Amino acid sequence: MRDNEVVNVGTEPLSFDDVVKVARHGATVRLTDDAVAAVAAARTRVDELAESPVPAYGVSTGFGALATRHIEPSLRARLQRSLIRSHAAGSGPEVETEVTRALMLLRLRTLATGHTGVRPKTAKALQGLLNAGITPVVHEYGSLGCSGDLAPLSHVALTIMGEGVVRDASGRLTDAAEALKQAGVEPVELAAKEGLALVNGTDGMLGMLILAMDDLTRLFRVADVGAAMSIEALLGTDRVFAADLQALRPHPGQAASAANLRALLAGSQIMDSHRDGTCTRVQDAYSLRCAPQVAGAARDTLAHAASVAARELASAIDNPAVLADGRVESNGNFHGAPVGYVLDFLAIAAADMASISERRTDRMLDVARSHGLPAFLADDPGVDSGHMIAQYTQAAIVSELKRLAVPASVDSIPSSAMQEDHVSMGWSAARKLRRSVDGLTRVLAVEILTAARALDMRAPLRPAPATAAVVACLRQAVSGPGPDRFLAPEIESTVRLVADDSVVAAAETVTGPLA
């Protein structure tokens, strides 16, 4: 928990960093005065509609295919309760706390725009949950990514009503009413339109996109570090990464990756050892030579996803929406297609980054292609198996990532008696991307673990100062080459060093910040 961090939620968009601070690091949330004023102004218009004899969707009618029924004023409080209770229909495993906190923050931000018509007290209740560390239990299944992430957001709204199950600030599973009482947060009896306003958004899929972008930004730098280590260990060349060669194809991500590789490989005694004209190889294999082309394409995909996420962060998604002139209009802005597409696109990039990493690892283990390294990097090949099965682990994950790269967003399925006849499946795309990010982390860790062993085996030749710093970082947790030992803990130690950015930080002590 970052007690000193405060994220202001107002009528202006949040930053990606704001979302990460609240979701992952427990930063405090504060509704700004302009947000409270905007919320109150929009509420005035909703109250007027509630008193009107003219039906207004979400205010005085049923929902979805039941929108044709006009609801009498005496039944409208029940209407809101019924909406939330019936829509809180998630199933399956509990999603991660950081995902639910991101979802809550993003819904609060939409409420703060003044385009949803909730009362200030309802927005403040959601703020109170976040600041008290109360996390509603949200389930894996239930969202079709259209009409928003209905079931996940309904579990949050249920908590605002003082119902359902939550985790308190200590992570303990408990009754929502008790958790709110302990935290001093008053449950809210939802008024006209408030139930719909709390559940009709793309907040879950957007939150997962922003968290994945945060992870992938780090992992794509890790991928360059792993590629540099592998290229060096395999006696590859860095000539192909020259800036003038890369400029012939001016993709920005490619240029950034190639610059990283040049910096990481600078001053390598291993690479200098085969620049004397005796090397007969004309070209390296694609997994070495094309590393910046693949990593660059992944970076450019990430940049596209960031542009979509930024626009989504600037959106006010609700149906119906309260407009500046007082109109309350139905719309389709809750459709998750823009977010779903880029979630699927990033899963493709993650799978391909893992695939090229696994190919480099396999090359280091194959005595026919490793240019002098022992078979499987074993201490005594035949008696020892070295990293043979570590590559199997990589291969298994890469195959899984390829399956996860199949897009969810093309798999629309109709619902609500054909009223909601085309949906985005953006939530599903986000859930599989989270698994892809975890898989890529593990594949890169195996490459770095293997490449470090291979670099040690090139002694007495010394690696580049930057890659040597990575090996030294790794050696604090994992021993160097030797007879076979229990390998799984070494892989997990390397996974942690990759995930917490220690690997990149070690390289950057030499190179400075990597792109």
The closest alpha carbon to 116, from 186, 11, 205, 8, belongs to: 11
If 0-12 CB within 10 Å is exposed, 13-18 middle and 19+ buried, where does residue 164 land? buried
Q: Which of 57, 286, 341, 392 is catalytic?
A: 57
Query: Which three-class secondary structure state does DSSP give residue 42?
Result: helix
Q: Which residues contact 413 (CB under 8 A, 6 or more apart)?
A: 144, 423, 425
**Contact of 209 with 343, CB cutoff 8 Å:** yes
The closest alpha carbon to 364, from 333, 336, 386, 332, belongs to: 386
Whole-angstrom CA distances from 66 to 31, 321, 376, 412, 418 are: 34, 19, 64, 21, 11
DSSP secondary structure of 312-330: HHT----SSEE-TTS-EE-
Q: How far apart, in whole angstroms, are the C-alpha atoms of residue 155 and residue 148?
A: 13
Element housing 92 (H / E): strand 91-94
Q: Which residues contact 35 (CB under 8 A, 6 or more apart)?
A: 9, 10, 11, 112, 113, 114, 123
User: Hunting for tokens 């109150």 — which residue is that?
Assistant: 40
End-to-end CA distance of the chain: 28
The residues facing 513 across adjacent strands are none
Position 40: which residue type? A
57 is catalytic: yes
Q: How far apart, in whole angstroms, are the C-alpha atoms of residue 297 and residue 117?
A: 42
Active site residues: 57
